[in-house]
Amino acid sequence: MKGMIGKKVGMTQIFDEQGNVVPVTVIEAGPCYVTQVLSDDRDGYKAVQLGFGETKPARLTKGQLGHLQRNNLPALKYLREFRVKGDDAVDVEEGAEIKVDVFAAGELVDVIGTSKGRGFAGTIKRHNFSRGPKTHGQSDRERSPGSIGMCASPGRTYKGKRMGGRMGNDRVTIQNLEVAVIDVEKNLLAVKGSIPGANGGIVIIRPARKSQQH
Amino acid sequence: MRKASLVNELIQSLQASIPDRTPVEVGDTVRVYVRIIEGTRERVQPFQGVVIRARKGANNANFTVRRIATHGVGVERTFLVNSPRLEKVDILRRAKVRRAQLYYLRDRRGKSARLKERRRR
């Protein structure tokens, strides 16, 4: 099991050995604590539950506090589960602390976050439709979706037809991001490229699922 | 606030190796030595001119140098302050300026494009 919960700090740029500028996103990752180890026998599946984000004990319910106090952990705001694949052994113990050094620079990771909410968005923003002509006698056509179906046959609009609607605020995974820098002392991690969500958003970092590296 | 401080901390820890340069100011006449990689060979090319703009910002701090090339053609080049591709930056002259950006120099040439040298206090 390898993974972390973190908070998106923001973007900046760094220089690589050749002097090229590399855009990176800084994540305040950890320290995370193993709050629970779920097993096949007791829970029906294998997973590790991690906690992140120390907070005042008064901010949590007694049930949450009791769950954490079983392993003498501080009050943690965010708990997330990381599945352990079929036969893999669980290599962590409850109560253990996990720091950014589980990852190494150059490694590929997936980052999961919640994208920024866009509210009710039209088809151009939401589905990359083209806009209509601005001139040549057109009126009210600039951002309209166009035809949404045929006439009396079938006499209805197909299900799943792409239209305007709520956009964003979704769980989004960005795959195969390269870890650019880790700073164990300050619990900081920087990945190459951008990650979903606003600054301050909670993200999950895990080894890249589809990478050839492992 | 929080973003800026954490990002700056990370960058500072990364760049302990980069030497502190005298900060370049707007109006300075500078000679910038740029490392250029040609295939496998590396050489240093100077670029001399007036700093017409300087921007702050953690690792994104940059400045633009304007010089008049042959046939009176103005050439502007922007450099990142912390870039390892900058060998060194020599400040040849500091001028008294009353603006943050000297874009007006673009419309001038010859005598009217001069800057008054700053007196040492």
A118-151 pLDDT, tens digit per residue, is 999 999 999 999 999 999 988 889 999 999 999 9
| B95 is a domain residue | yes
Nearest CB among A15, A19, A26 relative to B10 is that of: A26
Gap between the Cα atoms of A163 and A126, Å rounded: 8
Cα A6 → chain centroid? 9
Tell me which residue of A49, A36, A85 sits closest to A207, measured CA to CA.
A85
| B33 is a domain residue | yes
User: A199 and B7: CB-CB below 8 Å?
Assistant: no
- pLDDT band with cut points at 50, 70 and 90 for residue B1: very low
Give the total number of structural domains in chain B.
1
Q: What is the amino acid identity at position B15?
A: Q
The sign of the CA dihedral A167, A169, A170, A174 is: positive
Tell me which residue of B23, B29, B47, B48 sits closest to B116, measured CA to CA.
B29
Q: Is the model's pLDDT at B9 over the cut of 70?
A: no
The complex's ipTM works out to: 0.75
Both tokens of A76, joined, read 């943690």
A150-177 pLDDT, tens digit per residue, is 999 999 999 999 999 999 999 999 999 9
Q: What is the CATH number of domain A4-118+171-207?
A: 2.40.30.10
Does B18 contact A at CB distance below 8 Å?
no
Does B100 contact A at CB distance below 8 Å?
no
Which whole number is the average pLDDT over A9-26?
Answer: 88
Helix and strand tally (H, E) in chain A? 3, 12
- Distance of CA A129 to CAs A141, A144, A163, B91, Å? 13, 9, 10, 53
H-run or E-run covering B108 = none
Q: How many CB pairs under 8 A join A and B?
A: 46
So what's the pLDDT on residue A169?
A: 95
The size of chain A, in residues, is 214
So what's the pLDDT on residue A89?
A: 73
Q: What is the amino acid identity at position A172?
A: V
The domain segmentation of chain A, as residue ranges, is 4-118+171-207, 120-167
- pLDDT band with cut points at 50, 70 and 90 for residue A96: confident
How many angstroms separate the CA of residue B88 from the nearest CA in chain A? Answer: 14
Which whole number is the average pLDDT over B84-99?
Answer: 90
User: A14 and B59: CB-CB below 8 Å?
Assistant: yes
| B48 is a domain residue | yes
Does B6 contact A at CB distance below 8 Å?
yes
Cβ contact A193:A177 at 8 Å = yes
So what's the pLDDT on residue A214?
A: 55
- CATH number for the domain that contains residue B86: 2.30.30.790
Both tokens of B12, joined, read 């500072």
Residue-averaged pLDDT of chain A: 90
User: B14 and A28: CB-CB below 8 Å?
Assistant: no
